[in-house]
Chains A and B, each alone.
Chain A
């Protein structure tokens, strides 16, 4: 029997919820602060453990003529040096397509590509020996530029086109028309824990792999493929990651496969950890984009037609670039009804690291583009950007259809924005900022609002499934396992709350356990903000089924109808008589009733045609909005966000404290992407920002000193999600686009707001100063 979450009467149960909807600290918080939370590199070494260090390509593109391992092999402590030819199975890391090697074979396609790995007694010995490998690589001409790649139609994944209406006709008929180009950089995940795996060989070629991965199943499949064994011989386990953000969705597979390869080759446990510099050189990042657009609009700024060509820097292979580009195209509309569009998405092949998933997954890049376009339209018409936004919003009740064919139902954008503009005192502050700008010659302030609509579900319908395994023991304690992974986002806590709620037991009676392919098979990545929606619902189903069985037994014991029983405060009863939850469990065992259940969940309603880019890919949308106030220095381009106000719709939040943490953290991370975080390659294609000394993520002082975050926690999701909650992982990252828009506003103030700033992302001090100088020159020209 599968119980659907809709069977819980939300309206009736809401006031009674005892665990769900309450603040519970992260389940590992006490361990985190005491240094007791165990990450993979903290696990005690098993006897005979060997350590690995990668051999990385020094050139961006070339043919491998020879790999001379003699010096490395004879270095102290070295056991083996492995390269592509040592892979007994398939040298394949591609999550979707094929032909993406784990270790470079025959050719190298980016600086930092892994060519081989040294296996040594100690980590230091492995690292030292890796430097002794002599590589003879015949260099070929590299390509680092997405527009150049587009020019020669060099791509990693099929080019995508999303059209609706007749965009060209709309453009030709439009009163006004603007075309332009926006460039935005990529972003390193900078998870504090680098990529790591620990592989332990067993009998009959079995392999147990502890992997810091968001996707244990993908690790399992690729380890089996690489070793030439069956999936059932591989177990993948992950208790926690030290951050991931998408960077351990597909990239972790490569690290785990190499660790397993070494373990199989040596018959000894092998630990593979990438140091920061190697991690940043070898693993994928957020895709940088160049987006060209041509927009037609009327005198009120109402968009009639929009052509967009989005060129994503895919890197040397596709990895997840295809679906990343899909999400860009399906989020170019953001909150705006676009009657006629023609969007092209191109996965440009370049000789850089292969870019991958990163919180937002292409959505943020699409939204930066459309918001840049709105800014251009507003300034060209002399209108307030927020008015132009309002003119273009999807109607609140109309169910207007997105370019990909999904009606926008349960549209909360206007409610969220109105709430925010009021709570952030927009009108008053706008006037104050204009006054500040009149009185100051060097510092200029900017103010901007950013609305966000984000689609929840994996675009690919198949991936929207999850499983859970639940055991109740005869003392009433509960063992919880599901397919989701914990990377800091609090998923384990939320899912445990769901189980505790269904059973009416204290949260601490639910034991959270490491994710493993042995307990829940064939899982999807913990990604796309879907972790609690999918795994929470699967856990709800498992718990509901067990509760129904236990209720039958309790009814017999208490001699009352099962439907009268209430599970609450660790007891099961009908209001008059009751037993403890543990007593019911014991009774089940005595009566030979199973106390173990699996739960399964498949998101309803969704479908997607991956070739036409049409369908109903998202179960629902989440809404949020932010207002940011910034100041820039027109002499140096230095800039700072002074205040941010946020409203984020969290449905009926499972855990407001954890959701708040997601909103704040995502905003600051998004702000980093758009301001101080700059990936910089030299002319030879070497990434020169490969550590925190050169790649600057936000620090504590960069957080806006006034930071008002309002999460709407009491607006049940209209769709039947677990306890009517909403996903929260990715959407608030895009709220940080308000900071970039505010920086543009500050630059525009030099023209009294009449001209749009030419400011790409990240808006480093350099880009801001150049935009300021450009604005000064254009304003002078006009005068």
Chain B
């Protein structure tokens, strides 16, 4: 089997005859000798490798970490690198022109990635606010400048960039299989195809966004002779409302889900904007975040508190699992080898419902939570008639705190019930100490977040979070 991986590179059609599990960065730097994109961390965090990617099923470019994106994932899509942007117009992209003038680079190593991230932003939003620019830069670290000249260059480029200068023609499509004999990617188009394929190729790695699992490949610690992407399965790519439930398909990315979160749960949307970076959120999926069953994934606490259910699709049909029963142990979930998360179903907000989710981490943007607390309740005449409290970072799995919920349900929502819930949280949870925080700190924060929730939902006028100032 040898089927080239087809996509456009800086406007030119490429037919790459290589391993499908090669990272895009390796391919660019080693195969194509395009060395503008740099490796800074090989874990999708520093952004020096940022490129712009248009997937086969999309019209939009998004920034991506080429160090953890596999070339097979590009099949049918398009790739723009810093060299491609430099080829636009006479002097390159507006971001490049403004950054060169404004002292926006010092050592210059992060610069190509920042150029890609910002031109991606301006392609979507030609009038970005400072906050939009920070969101766009959350996946790009600069150690030299202090960022001010970079943010200013983005603002200046927005004034001159005019109409999007990146092509948006959709000309490719994902092939059902692509790659060479050493490593290939499958792109089944339906769930049936997926199940058949998984039965015949049980060793193929299942890949959603790859922002977690591809790390092993990026570090040259693993090789994948075959892997199966969920991206081309149309049935998994939708977000739809069924009655009073929002169903998010198993291949929907965080970035695609963000507008829905913004509409129904603005607090969740704020959390999502702090989740990874645009680069990561444009690749990573909600389903992948839950399937890894990490105790510190940010999706789980919010979805636990919202009462979400997971729909699993197997060869013999679907089954539904309450998210609260889904996580069975450290990085283990109730999902059989032949199953896949086909959707995540979240009850839409009801009147009188209150919901907050709080992420506490060392850095505001693009950090992993030390503690993530999610609080949902139904408040009727000051009484808490129902409530769910969930945490990440407080146990081996994302976890609900039934004792704290019990301390609140049926009670007046006031200092007293809040204090009972606080104590219940401290009593029930025994987190661990690691580099993100000590057990003592985690316990104090988890309990204190109850207080924040009370003050924010019980009419306090005070600003309650440092970012509010």
CA distance A769 to B436 in the complex (A): 14
CA distance A190 to B105 in the complex (A): 16
With known contacts A34-B96, A39-B109, A692-B141, A442–B435 Cβ distance under 8 A: no
How many contacting A-B pairs (Cβ < 8 A)? 281
Closest to B131 in A: A701
Contact B438 A488 (CB under 8 A): no
Q: Does B464 contact A (CB under 8 A)?
A: yes
Q: Does A766 contact B (CB under 8 A)?
A: yes
Q: How far is the CB of A441 from chain B (nearest CB, A)?
A: 7
Contact A242 B138 (CB under 8 A): no
For residue A691, which residues in chain B have a CB less than 8 angstroms away from its CB?
41, 43, 45
Q: Does B35 contact A (CB under 8 A)?
A: yes
Contact A699 B141 (CB under 8 A): yes
Q: How far is the CB of B28 from chain A (nearest CB, A)?
A: 10
For residue B105, which residues in chain A have a CB less than 8 angstroms away from its CB?
26, 28-29, 32-33, 488
Contact B38 A193 (CB under 8 A): yes
Contact A635 B448 (CB under 8 A): yes
Q: How far is the CB of A484 from chain B (nearest CB, A)?
A: 15
With known contacts A443-B462, A636-B445, A667-B146, A699–B138 Cβ distance under 8 A: yes
Q: Does A245 contact B (CB under 8 A)?
A: yes
For residue B361, which residues in chain A have a CB less than 8 angstroms away from its CB?
696, 765
Q: How far is the CB of A212 from chain B (nearest CB, A)?
A: 10
Stretch at the interface among A107-115, A334-342, A637-645: A637-645
Contact B147 A703 (CB under 8 A): yes
Q: Does B174 contact A (CB under 8 A)?
A: no
Pick the residue among A189, A490, A642 that contacts B469 (CB under 8 A).
Answer: A642
Q: Does B149 contact A (CB under 8 A)?
A: yes
Q: Which of A1-47 contact B (CB under 8 A)?
A: 25-26, 28-39, 41-42, 44
Pick the residue among B38, B99, B133, B362 that contacts A696 (CB under 8 A).
Answer: B362
Q: Does A421 contact B (CB under 8 A)?
A: no
Contact B146 A657 (CB under 8 A): no
Q: Does B107 contact A (CB under 8 A)?
A: yes
Q: Which of B146, B435, B452 has the most CB of A within 10 A?
A: B146
Mark interface residues in A663-676 (1 if CB within 8 Å of B CB, else 0). Answer: 01111110000001
Q: Which of A685-708 contact B (CB under 8 A)?
A: 688-689, 691-694, 696-703, 705, 707
Contact B35 A42 (CB under 8 A): yes
Q: Does B248 contact A (CB under 8 A)?
A: no
For residue A658, which residues in chain B have a CB less than 8 angstroms away from its CB?
103
Q: Does B205 contact A (CB under 8 A)?
A: no
Stretch at the interface among B53-61, B320-328, B339-347, B364-372: B364-372
Contact B36 A36 (CB under 8 A): yes
Q: How far is the CB of A641 from chain B (nearest CB, A)?
A: 10
For residue B81, which residues in chain A have a CB less than 8 angstroms away from its CB?
35
Mark interface residues in A559-572 (1 if CB within 8 Å of B CB, else 0). Answer: 00000000000000
Q: Which of B136-187 contact A (CB under 8 A)?
A: 137-138, 140-151
For residue B138, which residues in chain A have a CB less than 8 angstroms away from its CB?
699-701
Stretch at the interface among B110-118, B232-240, B258-266, B391-399: B110-118
Q: Which of A190-210 contact B (CB under 8 A)?
A: 190-194
Closest to B367 in A: A696
Q: Does B214 contact A (CB under 8 A)?
A: no
CA distance A633 to B45 in the complex (A): 27
Q: Which of A131, A194, A667 has the most CB of B within 10 A?
A: A194
Contact A35 B42 (CB under 8 A): no
Pick the residue among B34, B96, B107 that contacts A242 (CB under 8 A).
Answer: B107
Q: State the interface size on chain B (CB cutoff 8 A).
A: 92
Q: How far is the CB of A616 from chain B (nearest CB, A)?
A: 32
For residue A657, which residues in chain B have a CB less than 8 angstroms away from its CB?
103
CA distance A36 to B468 in the complex (A): 41
Q: Does B406 contact A (CB under 8 A)?
A: no
Pick the residue among B26, B108, B360, B434 that contacts A37 (CB under 8 A).
Answer: B108
For residue B29, which residues in chain A have a CB less than 8 angstroms away from its CB?
42
For residue A642, which residues in chain B have a CB less than 8 angstroms away from its CB?
469
Mark interface residues in B92-130 (1 if CB within 8 Å of A CB, else 0). Answer: 100111011111111111111001000000000000001
CA distance A378 to B371 in the complex (A): 36
Q: Does B411 contact A (CB under 8 A)?
A: no
Contact B363 A124 (CB under 8 A): no
Contact B435 A443 (CB under 8 A): no
Contact A192 B40 (CB under 8 A): yes
Q: Does A440 contact B (CB under 8 A)?
A: yes
Q: How far is the CB of B70 from chain A (nearest CB, A)?
A: 14
Pick the residue among B115, B445, B455 that contacts A442 (CB under 8 A).
Answer: B455
Contact B144 A243 (CB under 8 A): yes
For residue B243, which residues in chain A have a CB less than 8 angstroms away from its CB?
none
Pick the residue among A33, A678, A766 that contacts B99 (CB under 8 A).
Answer: A33
Q: State the interface size on chain A (CB cutoff 8 A).
A: 91
CA distance A94 to B142 in the complex (A): 30
Q: How far is the CB of A72 from chain B (nearest CB, A)?
A: 14
CA distance A488 to B360 in the complex (A): 34
Q: Does A725 contact B (CB under 8 A)?
A: no
Contact A25 B146 (CB under 8 A): no
CA distance A30 to B460 in the complex (A): 52
For residue B438, which residues in chain A have a CB less than 8 angstroms away from its CB?
766
Contact B107 A192 (CB under 8 A): yes
Pick the residue among A131, A276, A707 that contacts B40 (CB under 8 A).
Answer: A276
With known contacts A692-B43, A764-B362, A700–B220 Cβ distance under 8 A: no
For residue B100, which residues in chain A have a CB less than 8 angstroms away from its CB?
25, 29-30, 32-33
Q: Does B412 contact A (CB under 8 A)?
A: no
Contact B103 A33 (CB under 8 A): no
CA distance A636 to B151 in the complex (A): 29
Q: How far is the CB of B136 from chain A (nearest CB, A)?
A: 9
Q: Does A240 contact B (CB under 8 A)?
A: yes
Q: Does A79 contact B (CB under 8 A)?
A: no
With known contacts A29-B105, A693-B43, A700-B134, A688–B435 Cβ distance under 8 A: yes
Q: Does A661 contact B (CB under 8 A)?
A: yes
With known contacts A440-B462, A680-B435, A765–B360 Cβ distance under 8 A: yes
Contact A769 B435 (CB under 8 A): no
For residue B365, which residues in chain A have a CB less than 8 angstroms away from its CB?
699-702
With known contacts A636-B448, A640-B467, A689–B435 Cβ distance under 8 A: yes
Contact A700 B147 (CB under 8 A): yes
Q: Which of B413-469 contact A (CB under 8 A)?
A: 434-438, 441, 444-445, 448-449, 451-452, 455, 462-469
Q: Does B46 contact A (CB under 8 A)?
A: yes
CA distance A8 to B105 in the complex (A): 32
For residue A41, which residues in chain B have a CB less than 8 angstroms away from its CB?
35, 38-39
Q: Does B207 contact A (CB under 8 A)?
A: no
Q: Which of A397-448 contact B (CB under 8 A)?
A: 439-443
Q: How far is the CB of A266 from chain B (nearest CB, A)?
A: 20
Q: How far is the CB of B54 from chain A (nearest CB, A)?
A: 19
Q: Does B37 contact A (CB under 8 A)?
A: yes
Mark interface residues in A249-281 (1 if CB within 8 Å of B CB, else 0). Answer: 000000000000000000000000001110000
For residue A765, which residues in chain B have a CB less than 8 angstroms away from its CB?
360-362, 370, 437, 441, 445
With known contacts A191-B107, A699-B137, A633–B465 Cβ distance under 8 A: yes
Q: Does A283 contact B (CB under 8 A)?
A: no
For residue B143, which residues in chain A have a CB less than 8 angstroms away from its CB?
189-192, 243, 245, 665, 669, 697
Contact A661 B366 (CB under 8 A): no
With known contacts A443-B466, A632-B466, A697-B141, A676–B103 Cβ distance under 8 A: no
Q: Does A773 contact B (CB under 8 A)?
A: yes
Closest to B358 in A: A636
Interface CB pairs A-B, < 8 A, 19 = A33-B115, A34-B82, A35-B36, A35-B82, A39-B38, A124-B220, A128-B220, A192-B110, A240-B108, A277-B219, A640-B364, A661-B144, A661-B145, A692-B41, A693-B41, A693-B43, A696-B367, A700-B138, A702-B365
Other contacts beyond A638-B466, A680-B435, A688-B435: 19, CB < 8 A: A26-B105, A33-B112, A127-B220, A192-B40, A192-B109, A242-B108, A243-B143, A244-B107, A443-B465, A636-B358, A636-B360, A661-B149, A669-B146, A696-B363, A699-B364, A699-B365, A765-B361, A769-B445, A773-B444
